[in-house]
Copies of this chain bind each other. A is one copy, B any other.
């Protein structure tokens, strides 16, 4: 286990009108505005194969989350019992990696416009992946 092996290197960042965690939708399909994945120009080769209209998974680093939280009340609802973070989508968790299913609506060089991204403006982007699903479909 070497140190460099556990260090993330963001490949870009989110450009979004969402700036306030308390006002942001909790999930992308709850009214998130269009946002841009602004990738580093060095990532141009890595995006080759992404297409407008495709649904993809974006991984982000939720840099405004708390990492010392192990239990939460889901969706902040005080009427619900505390629950371990691994069975919730809370951004607060030991490794606050955000998982977002989005649809690509435009590609302009290394800028990718997407629908349904609830991440805040300036959130670091770690990765883009095909959807999980049966093998052989993509």
Task: Give the B-binding residues of A (Cβ under 8 A).
Answer: 1, 5-11, 26-27, 29-30, 43, 45-51, 54, 56-57, 59, 61, 63, 67, 70-71, 82-89, 93-95, 97, 99, 101, 124, 126-130, 132, 134-135, 138
Contacts and interface: CB of A to CB of B under 8 A. Distances in A.
B48 A84 contact: yes
20 contacts: A6-B61, A7-B8, A29-B135, A30-B135, A46-B93, A48-B82, A49-B83, A49-B87, A49-B88, A51-B87, A54-B87, A57-B99, A59-B99, A89-B130, A93-B127, A97-B97, A97-B127, A99-B132, A101-B132, A132-B132
Nearest to A58: B86
Contacts of A94: 9, 11, 43, 46, 126-127
B5 A6 contact: no
A103 B64 CA distance: 30
